[in-house]
Protein backbone atom coordinates (compact mmCIF):
# COMPACT_ATOMS: atom_id res chain seq x y z
CA UNK A 1 0.00 0.00 0.00
CA UNK A 2 1.00 3.57 -0.60
CA UNK A 3 1.87 5.35 2.61
CA UNK A 4 0.48 8.76 3.58
CA UNK A 5 3.97 10.24 3.49
CA UNK A 6 4.33 9.49 -0.21
CA UNK A 7 0.90 11.00 -0.89
CA UNK A 8 1.84 14.20 0.93
CA UNK A 9 4.94 14.53 -1.25
CA UNK A 10 2.80 15.36 -4.32
CA UNK A 11 0.83 18.12 -2.55
CA UNK A 12 0.88 21.32 -4.64
CA UNK A 13 -0.60 23.44 -1.83
CA UNK A 14 1.76 22.90 1.01
CA UNK A 15 0.89 24.81 4.19
CA UNK A 16 3.51 26.78 6.02
CA UNK A 17 3.49 26.10 9.74
CA UNK A 18 2.12 28.94 11.83
CA UNK A 19 5.28 28.97 13.92
CA UNK A 20 7.29 30.01 10.87
CA UNK A 21 5.04 33.05 10.07
CA UNK A 22 5.41 36.49 11.60
CA UNK A 23 2.65 39.09 12.09
CA UNK A 24 3.35 42.74 11.20
CA UNK A 25 1.58 46.03 11.95
CA UNK A 26 1.14 46.84 8.26
CA UNK A 27 -0.51 43.48 7.63
CA UNK A 28 -2.82 43.98 10.61
CA UNK A 29 -3.76 47.43 9.35
CA UNK A 30 -4.55 46.14 5.86
CA UNK A 31 -6.62 43.33 7.36
CA UNK A 32 -8.65 45.78 9.47
CA UNK A 33 -9.19 48.10 6.48
CA UNK A 34 -10.28 45.18 4.30
CA UNK A 35 -12.73 43.93 6.94
CA UNK A 36 -14.24 47.39 7.44
CA UNK A 37 -14.54 47.85 3.67
CA UNK A 38 -16.36 44.55 3.30
CA UNK A 39 -18.78 45.45 6.11
CA UNK A 40 -19.38 48.91 4.59
CA UNK A 41 -20.04 47.55 1.09
CA UNK A 42 -22.39 44.90 2.44
CA UNK A 43 -24.33 47.52 4.41
CA UNK A 44 -24.62 49.85 1.39
CA UNK A 45 -25.84 47.07 -0.88
CA UNK A 46 -28.38 45.96 1.71
CA UNK A 47 -29.63 49.53 2.19
CA UNK A 48 -29.95 50.05 -1.55
CA UNK A 49 -31.84 46.78 -1.91
CA UNK A 50 -34.34 47.65 0.84
CA UNK A 51 -34.92 51.27 -0.24
CA UNK A 52 -37.74 52.34 -2.65
CA UNK A 53 -37.14 55.15 -5.14
CA UNK A 54 -39.21 56.83 -7.89
CA UNK A 55 -37.67 58.25 -11.05
CA UNK A 56 -39.56 60.63 -13.39
CA UNK A 57 -38.27 62.22 -16.58
CA UNK A 58 -39.97 64.61 -19.03
CA UNK A 59 -38.62 64.86 -22.58
CA UNK A 60 -39.50 67.92 -24.65
CA UNK A 61 -39.88 67.43 -28.39
CA UNK A 62 -37.92 70.23 -30.06
CA UNK A 63 -38.59 69.12 -33.63
CA UNK A 64 -39.90 71.64 -36.13
CA UNK A 65 -43.47 71.66 -37.43
CA UNK A 66 -42.26 70.44 -40.80
CA UNK A 67 -41.11 67.10 -39.42
CA UNK A 68 -43.91 64.57 -39.72
CA UNK A 69 -44.03 60.96 -38.64
CA UNK A 70 -45.81 58.67 -41.07
CA UNK A 71 -47.53 55.63 -39.63
CA UNK A 72 -49.35 52.96 -41.65
CA UNK A 73 -52.10 51.00 -39.90
CA UNK A 74 -53.29 47.73 -41.41
CA UNK A 75 -56.73 47.22 -39.87
CA UNK A 76 -59.00 44.46 -41.15
CA UNK A 77 -62.75 44.62 -40.48
CA UNK A 78 -64.75 41.91 -42.27
CA UNK A 79 -68.01 43.89 -42.23
CA UNK A 80 -67.13 47.42 -41.12
CA UNK A 81 -66.56 50.45 -43.33
CA UNK A 82 -63.30 52.36 -42.96
CA UNK A 83 -65.27 55.55 -42.30
CA UNK A 84 -65.61 54.47 -38.65
CA UNK A 85 -61.84 54.17 -38.10
CA UNK A 86 -60.30 57.13 -36.26
CA UNK A 87 -56.97 57.83 -34.57
CA UNK A 88 -56.46 60.04 -31.52
CA UNK A 89 -53.03 61.02 -30.19
CA UNK A 90 -52.36 61.71 -26.50
CA UNK A 91 -49.24 63.32 -25.11
CA UNK A 92 -46.97 61.51 -22.65
CA UNK A 93 -48.68 63.11 -19.65
CA UNK A 94 -52.16 62.19 -20.90
CA UNK A 95 -53.47 65.75 -20.48
CA UNK A 96 -53.70 66.81 -24.12
CA UNK A 97 -55.65 65.03 -26.83
CA UNK A 98 -55.03 65.63 -30.52
CA UNK A 99 -57.58 64.56 -33.13
CA UNK A 100 -55.67 63.81 -36.33
CA UNK A 101 -58.57 62.25 -38.22
CA UNK A 102 -58.53 65.08 -40.76
CA UNK A 103 -55.00 64.20 -41.87
CA UNK A 104 -55.69 60.48 -42.31
CA UNK A 105 -56.29 59.05 -45.78
CA UNK A 106 -58.56 56.02 -45.96
CA UNK A 107 -58.71 53.49 -48.79
CA UNK A 108 -60.42 50.14 -49.17
CA UNK A 109 -57.89 47.50 -50.26
CA UNK A 110 -58.03 43.83 -51.17
CA UNK A 111 -55.87 40.97 -49.89
CA UNK A 112 -52.99 42.12 -52.12
CA UNK A 113 -53.15 45.69 -50.70
CA UNK A 114 -54.48 47.07 -53.98
CA UNK A 115 -57.02 49.86 -53.78
CA UNK A 116 -60.55 48.69 -54.57
CA UNK A 117 -62.28 52.06 -54.52
CA UNK A 118 -61.88 55.79 -54.23
CA UNK A 119 -60.52 57.52 -51.16
CA UNK A 120 -63.01 57.99 -48.36
CA UNK A 121 -63.72 61.58 -47.26
CA UNK A 122 -65.56 61.97 -44.00
CA UNK A 123 -66.61 65.57 -44.58
CA UNK A 124 -67.83 68.00 -41.90
CA UNK A 125 -70.97 67.71 -39.85
CA UNK A 126 -73.66 70.13 -40.92
CA UNK A 127 -74.90 70.56 -37.36
CA UNK A 128 -74.16 69.22 -33.90
CA UNK A 129 -76.57 66.67 -32.49
CA UNK A 130 -77.10 66.87 -28.74
CA UNK A 131 -78.65 64.33 -26.44
CA UNK A 132 -82.42 64.46 -26.75
CA UNK A 133 -82.46 66.22 -30.14
CA UNK A 134 -84.20 64.68 -33.10
CA UNK A 135 -81.77 63.25 -35.64
CA UNK A 136 -82.23 64.36 -39.23
CA UNK A 137 -82.17 61.31 -41.49
CA UNK A 138 -80.84 63.40 -44.37
CA UNK A 139 -78.00 64.99 -42.39
CA UNK A 140 -75.50 62.39 -43.63
CA UNK A 141 -76.26 62.98 -47.32
CA UNK A 142 -74.16 65.06 -49.68
CA UNK A 143 -75.95 68.40 -49.40
CA UNK A 144 -76.00 70.45 -46.22
CA UNK A 145 -79.31 70.99 -44.43
CA UNK A 146 -79.97 74.73 -44.25
CA UNK A 147 -82.47 76.57 -42.10
CA UNK A 148 -83.19 80.07 -40.89
CA UNK A 149 -80.50 79.82 -38.18
CA UNK A 150 -77.52 78.73 -40.27
CA UNK A 151 -78.35 80.00 -43.77
CA UNK A 152 -76.52 83.33 -43.41
CA UNK A 153 -73.52 81.66 -41.78
CA UNK A 154 -73.10 79.19 -44.64
CA UNK A 155 -73.61 81.96 -47.19
CA UNK A 156 -70.81 84.01 -45.62
CA UNK A 157 -68.42 81.07 -45.28
CA UNK A 158 -68.62 79.83 -48.88
CA UNK A 159 -68.18 82.06 -51.95
CA UNK A 160 -70.51 79.81 -53.95
CA UNK A 161 -73.60 78.42 -52.22
CA UNK A 162 -76.02 76.45 -54.39
CA UNK A 163 -79.34 75.85 -52.65
CA UNK A 164 -82.21 73.54 -53.56
CA UNK A 165 -85.50 74.90 -52.22
CA UNK A 166 -87.73 71.85 -52.24
CA UNK A 167 -91.00 70.51 -50.87
CA UNK A 168 -91.34 66.86 -49.82
CA UNK A 169 -94.73 66.54 -51.50
CA UNK A 170 -93.50 67.99 -54.81
CA UNK A 171 -93.11 65.43 -57.61
CA UNK A 172 -90.34 67.38 -59.35
CA UNK A 173 -88.45 67.91 -56.09
CA UNK A 174 -88.44 64.16 -55.43
CA UNK A 175 -87.18 63.49 -58.95
CA UNK A 176 -84.39 66.03 -58.49
CA UNK A 177 -83.31 64.69 -55.08
CA UNK A 178 -81.14 61.69 -56.21
CA UNK A 179 -79.25 63.73 -58.81
CA UNK A 180 -78.86 66.65 -56.41
CA UNK A 181 -77.43 64.50 -53.61
CA UNK A 182 -75.08 62.71 -56.01
CA UNK A 183 -73.78 66.04 -57.32
CA UNK A 184 -73.41 67.39 -53.77
CA UNK A 185 -71.43 64.32 -52.73
CA UNK A 186 -69.12 64.71 -55.73
CA UNK A 187 -68.55 68.38 -54.87
CA UNK A 188 -67.69 67.44 -51.27
CA UNK A 189 -65.12 64.89 -52.48
CA UNK A 190 -63.45 67.33 -54.86
CA UNK A 191 -63.73 70.46 -52.71
CA UNK A 192 -63.69 69.54 -49.02
CA UNK A 193 -65.64 72.27 -47.16
CA UNK A 194 -63.16 72.11 -44.25
CA UNK A 195 -60.05 72.40 -46.44
CA UNK A 196 -61.21 74.26 -49.56
CA UNK A 197 -64.65 75.72 -48.92
CA UNK A 198 -65.03 77.41 -52.30
CA UNK A 199 -68.40 75.82 -53.05
CA UNK A 200 -71.15 74.12 -51.07
CA UNK A 201 -74.47 72.62 -52.09
CA UNK A 202 -77.34 72.81 -49.63
CA UNK A 203 -81.08 72.27 -49.41
CA UNK A 204 -84.00 73.95 -47.69
CA UNK A 205 -87.33 72.34 -46.86
CA UNK A 206 -89.78 75.09 -47.74
CA UNK A 207 -92.61 73.43 -45.82
CA UNK A 208 -90.81 73.64 -42.47
CA UNK A 209 -88.53 76.69 -42.66
CA UNK A 210 -89.92 80.20 -42.89
CA UNK A 211 -87.20 82.71 -43.81
CA UNK A 212 -89.59 85.65 -43.76
CA UNK A 213 -88.05 87.23 -46.82
CA UNK A 214 -89.90 90.13 -48.42
CA UNK A 215 -91.77 88.98 -51.48
CA UNK A 216 -91.41 85.28 -50.74
CA UNK A 217 -94.11 83.00 -52.13
CA UNK A 218 -95.24 80.18 -49.85
CA UNK A 219 -95.30 76.72 -51.46
CA UNK A 220 -98.68 75.47 -52.53
CA UNK A 221 -99.77 71.93 -53.21
CA UNK A 222 -101.79 71.11 -56.29
Residues acting as catalytic residues: 170
Cα distance between residue 154 and residue 126, in whole Å? 10
3-state secondary structure string, 64-117?
A: CCCCCCCCCCCCCCCCCCHHHCCCEEECCCCCCEEECHHHCCECCECCCCCECC
> Which positions ≥6 away from 165 have C-beta within 8 Å?
203, 204, 206
Secondary structure in 3-state letters for 24-69 = CHHHHHHHHHHHHHHHHHHHHHHHHHHCCCCCCCCCCCCCCCCCCC
Q: Which is nearest to 146 in space by CA: 66, 209, 55?
A: 209
Residue 75: burial class (beta carbons within 10 Å; 0-12, 13-18, 19+): exposed
Answer whether 106's CB lies under 8 Å from 82's CB: yes
Amino acid sequence: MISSTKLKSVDFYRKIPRDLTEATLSGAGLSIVAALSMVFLFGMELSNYLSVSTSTSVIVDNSTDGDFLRMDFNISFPALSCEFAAVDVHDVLGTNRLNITKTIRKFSVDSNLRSTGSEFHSGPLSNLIKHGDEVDEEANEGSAVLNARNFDRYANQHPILVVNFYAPWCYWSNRLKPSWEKAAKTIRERYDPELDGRILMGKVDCTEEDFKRPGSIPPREF
